[in-house]
Structure 1
Amino acid sequence: MENRKTYQLLDKKTLNKSYVRWMMYNLVATSFEFLEALGFAYAMQPIADKLYKENPEKRKNMLKRHSIFYNTEPQIGALINGVVCGLEEQKALGKSEIDDSFINSLKVGLMGPVAGIGDSMIPGMLIPILLSIGMGLSSNGSVLGPLFYIIFYNSIIVFGTRFLFFKGYELGAESVDLFVGKKAQKITQAFSLLGVIVVGGVAASYVNLNLPIVLDFGSSTIDIQQILDGIFPKLLPAILVIGSWYFMAKKGVSPIKMIAAYFILAFGGVGIAYLVQIFF
């Protein structure tokens, strides 16, 4: 760390520019061939300009190296960008143990572990928690719910990713130990489990599905929903959630098609319930 403070080519302005470019354009010009590669290369352009402003050929080679296939969870993945910035700086300073293949191997090697942790933390845990709080605040029609989600989500993402980016820059190759090995696997599993629990809690609290069917036999009535609740409370919402997961995760049905199907089923279900009430 002392060596970096003494011999430093990248200033804070350049690093900030690289960070902002990644967070704003990480999914720019995506394709199956490149995915986030062009966004990564665009974020590395200010770094290349600073390190090799007197050597256009090295600048071009650096940007070409970072234009190959790349894909990870972009928020937590900001740490990889910081690591690569630090390594590129050390390479430009002449560190013999840091070459092109070392940087590329480290970058590709971190993609999977960081994606596993990021997918567990952001869409698997953070977003469901914030959405559940926001839905609770909006249950009476208040605008506080969406405002809460917008403000808190963006604040956490902006400040969190910036911290990770600069921490990755400071750590350099040492950050590998945080994301590779048994400890990283345990962290990923823990966040995955927590995400499943959170999603389950949100589903149980906010997904409602009832059968408004009451069979009238003159001397007695049978409430179908009451019978189901006595056997298994929230059985229908659980079936709905599991069914949605199955069709989207296993059958590849898009969310738009699922919404359209539920829209049709809802109208059909109301019609069937109405006919049952008439005839029974």
Structure 2
Amino acid sequence: MVNKTTARIAICIGLMTSVQLALPGFACAQDADMKAKEFSAILDQIENVKLATAQREVMLQKQEASMASIRQQLETVPQTKEAVRGIVTRMTAEIEKVIESDLPFRKEERYARLDSLREKLADESYSDSDLFRRAITLYDVEANYGYTISAYTGDHPLQPGRRLAACVEDTASPTCNLSSDQQKKLEAGETLEAISETIKDGNYVHFGRMSFIYLDLDSREGFRWSKEADAWEPLASRDIINARRAVRIARGESAPGVVTAPIKVQAAQ
């Protein structure tokens, strides 16, 4: 009969031997799993590097294409410069044609702007963009004349300077007709010559490009520019009344309203 104590010792030794034999296999499995995870992480890093490299290659290709485009543009700069200046030159020529064939309003002012653009066009220090912008601005100014009513002072179209001549003879004469501001300047010691630029014969009004008239300061007489006759024609008395009202509205001295422009209509054949 086997001793119970001896049996228990044997069982314990057997269990210990089984545990000792199982531990190395478990540790090996854990190590293999860790290695697999490390290998998977390395593969992920490799894929990330490949993706980043591909993105950089795409960026480099775009940069190279952009640099090639810039080089091509730089090569064409001289031709572009000549092209822009050629366009502006043609634009100034067209504007001059418009001024010459148009109603003769604000001629000096319009030609002064055109001459200024031509001077800048001849100056190499002005950039192409600046020249083109100025040409477009000049186009806009000329286009705006077509749908605006504007009034400005000026001398008589047939007898320029007659009011100033009357003032030289007698500042108190009705033809001289000095304003209160002009009289105050003379009383303050200014000479007639000093204020001569402010002594104009009357007012000019242009109704877009439809009609262009002149009205004496005292409204005694007025004229209409005739494109057909290429000359000034006297206004009828009813047209002078309408012209007086148009002057006040255009100068901001009266509330806006409907005005009648004197237009000569050719009879149908």
Check whether TM > 0.5: no
TM-score with structure 1 setting the length = 0.26
Larger relative contact order, structure 1 or 2 (CA cutoff 8 Å, min sep 6): 1
Bigger CA radius of gyration? 2
Q: Which has the higher helix share?
A: 1
Q: Which has the higher strand share?
A: 2
